[in-house]
A = this chain, B = another copy of it.
Amino acid sequence: MNLDFSKLDGLVPAVIQDAASGRVLMLGFMNEEAFRKTVETGFATFFSRSRNKLWLKGESSGHRLVVREISTDCDQDAVLLKVEALGPGVCHEGYESCFFRRLADGAWQISDRRTYDPAAVYGGNK
């Protein structure tokens, strides 16, 4: 289950797609250890570029991503995970999907409604 981590300094992009609805929920990055942990535990684990460490998605919110299927692409430098998302949304800003802004008339417009109150889940921390 080799992947090519060389193109992005040890990372591959990981597309997270809702297994039931097909909606793309987020895009994260995995290093080799994060990918291995994802496979071993069955919960999506990323490498946080801002915090420079492994990040079990949902570790603070409880909104974990249960992995149903993992695919890779022709160059084996990206992965696609079909998941069951636990909780009301994957986005720390309170939305089902991080992709809640759509391009319309040359500007990003919020196209979704919040599915939960991020302050109640995350408090002062994200």
Contact = CB atoms under 8 A, between A and B. Distances in A.
A111 B72 CA distance: 11
- Residue from A17, A72, A75, A103 whose CB has the most chain B CB atoms within 10 Å: A103
A124 interface: no
Contacts of A15: 15, 24, 27
Interface residues of A, number: 39
A72 B49 contact: no
How many subunits of this chain does the assembly comprise?
2
B1 A70 contact: no
A8 interface: yes
A80 B107 contact: no
A39 interface: yes
A13 interface: yes
A102 B70 contact: yes
Nearest to A22: B22
Contacts of A13: 13, 27
Given A15-B27, A24-B24, A39 B73 contact: no
Contacts of A111: 71
Given A8-B8, A13-B13, A71 B100 contact: yes
Contacts of A2: 108
